[in-house]
Structure formats: structure tokens, C-alpha cells
A and B are shown apart, each in its own frame.
Chain A
Amino acid sequence: MAAKLKFDAVKVGDAIPTITIENVARPDFVRYAGASGDFVPLHYDQTFVEAAGIPTVFAQGMWTAGCLSRCLTDFAGAGQVRRFKVRFARQVWPGDTLSCRGKVTAKSEANGEKLVEGDLEVVNQKGEATVKGVFRVAAA
């Protein structure tokens, strides 16, 4: 597999590369609904959300999580992710700009694999965390 990450070159406390998602927009949610099969109307049906007293459609949590997961494949290589866990903290709205970022918290070896673990978060333009998570990737 395509391990990009050299175990010996990683230190606890290192930041992983940040990905910026500029200008979140309604078409992102529509595209994700079609791609994922998540057709909960809160994410694309303005009439439905207004009737529920919500000002506008907002992102599927798993759309934001998908954007965040790219940090890991960019960092460690596709096929190298062993664990990805997210908790949804706050909604993502059209017009938001998101920073997807993380840092290394531990290194270990198990079952013959060199593993790097860490924390992840997606933060909006106001500095609020929208998704928080943890990861484990395999390194070479």
C-alpha cells in the first residue's frame, strides 16, 4: 500500500497538514446526498427546514467528516487509515469556511504495524469546533 508516512519522522505533538474548505455551499449538500444516499431533507429542502423553524439547510455531518478524512489520506496515504472516529458538535452552514486539522498524540506498534494516533477537528471561521475526532494510521 501507499504509505507516505515515515514512522521515525513523526513526533508526538506534530500537526498534520490542514485542509481548508472554502465557501461551503448548498450544492455541496445536494451532491453529498446523491453520492452517499443520505436523503434527510434537513440538508437540501429549504421549505422543509423553514417549516421546522430552522433558517436554512445545513451540511450533513458526514459530509464534513468526509472532508476531514482527507487530512488523513493526504498525511499517511490512501489505504493507510486504520481508525477514524468523529463526534458532531455543531452545524455547518452555507457560507462557512472550514479548517480541517489535527495533531499526533501517540505512536505505537501492534500486529507488526507501525501506528500513529491523533486528534482531529473541523473549525469554522468563528473558531468554533463543528466536528471533533480521533484517528489511527499506519506508517512505514
Chain B
Amino acid sequence: MMDKSIVGKTGKPFSMPIEWGKVREFARAVRDPNPVYFDPDLAKKECGGIPIPVTFLQTSAFWQTAESMPPLDMFDLRRILHGEQEFEFFKPILVGDTLTGVARVADLYEKEGGRGGKMTFLVVETAYTNQRNEKVALARFVLVETGQAVGG
């Protein structure tokens, strides 16, 4: 049963420092050899500092807590799929920045699915500002709760 009242609910703001070690590790993990992640002098010249890989904001998992996520207890985690992920960038994000993220339930809706039966879609948006209170990025993910277990 869908409870639309969670739409608009936000989590507690969380802080996310952008660290060089984590940026390098992430770039290696996605097989990206771009020297801007590994050579601070080159990065300074090209980007004004060491930039983050495009999908690096996924590492907010290390900084978020249960309180910084909107309430999602209505979902059955065994039936959840990550359907979509989107990032929008408004200002540069560089190593040394400290971001503040606020996650919000943006939408909740149902669709008739195929063999999985009725599917529920949850859209969560996390807005990021930097230490100068500039809006730098928006991350949006869509979770899909299928009618039956994902492996079934």
C-alpha cells in the first residue's frame, strides 16, 4: 500500500568532505586513468584543483546515516532495484571542499509491471551545497520495488 505522505520528507543534512585519497581510489575503481585525479599540479592548471569523477557523489554512502536518509521503512529491501541514477552539476566540486547534502523524497508512484506484478517507484533527490553555500550538484535516484523478490 502506497503512502504518498512521505513525498517531500527530508533527511537530516549530512556533511561530506571531498578527500583526494578517496577520489584517487574511486577513479582507479572505475578504471579511469585521467591524470587530473592523480597529479595535483596538472589538476590545478586544468581544473583549478583536483575534480571529482562524474559519479563520485555515490560515495555519500560513507557519510550518510539513517537519520540523513528520508524514512523508507515501508519498502521491502528484498524486492528493491536501483532503476535510475542522475547527477546534475552547477558549480565545480574540488578536493578540499566540504559539501552538505540534504536528501528528500521527490516522488512516489506505482505502475503495472510485467512478470513482477505491480511496481512502486521511489524518487529521492539529494541537493549538495559547498562550504560557500553555493548549490553545486543534485543527485537523483529511482528505486523500484517489484511485486516479487528480485532473484525469484
Q: Residues of A at under 8 Å CB distance from B?
A: 1-2, 21, 28, 31-32, 34-38, 52-54, 61-63, 65-67, 69-70, 72-74, 77-79, 81-88
Cβ 8 A contact of A70, one of B25, B32, B92: B32
- A residues near B47, Cβ cutoff 8 Å: 1-2, 78-79
Q: Nearest 5 A-B pairs (CB), nearest first?
A: A66-B30, A37-B61, A69-B54, A35-B29, A2-B46
Q: How close is A82's CB to chain B, nearest CB, in angstroms?
A: 6
- B residues near A61, Cβ cutoff 8 Å: 82, 85
A69 & B55 in contact (Cβ 8 Å cutoff)? yes
B36 & A78 in contact (Cβ 8 Å cutoff)? yes
Bin the interface of chain B by size: 35 or more
A34 & B29 in contact (Cβ 8 Å cutoff)? yes
- A residues near B54, Cβ cutoff 8 Å: 66, 69-70, 72-73, 81, 84
Q: How close is A77's CB to chain B, nearest CB, in angstroms?
A: 7
CB<8 Å pairs between A and B, sample of 10:
A31-B28, A36-B58, A37-B59, A38-B58, A62-B82, A67-B32, A78-B46, A78-B51, A84-B54, A88-B81
- Count of CB-CB pairs between chains A and B under 8 Å: 112
Q: Which B residue's beta carbon lies closest to that of A70? A: B32
B8 at the A interface (CB under 8 A): no
Which residue, of B25, B29, B86, B87, has the highest number of chain A Cβ atoms within 10 A? B29
A35 & B25 in contact (Cβ 8 Å cutoff)? yes
- A residues near B51, Cβ cutoff 8 Å: 78-79
Cβ 8 A contact of A32, one of B30, B62, B151: B30
B96 at the A interface (CB under 8 A): no
In angstroms, Cα B31 to Cα A88, docked, is 19
The contact string, 1 if C-beta is below 8 Å from chain A, for chain B 14-45, is 00000000100110111110101100000100
- A residues near B83, Cβ cutoff 8 Å: 87-88
Given contacts A83-B87, A87-B83, 13 further A-B contacts (CB under 8 A): A1-B48, A31-B28, A31-B29, A37-B58, A66-B53, A66-B55, A70-B32, A73-B34, A78-B46, A81-B87, A85-B85, A85-B87, A86-B84
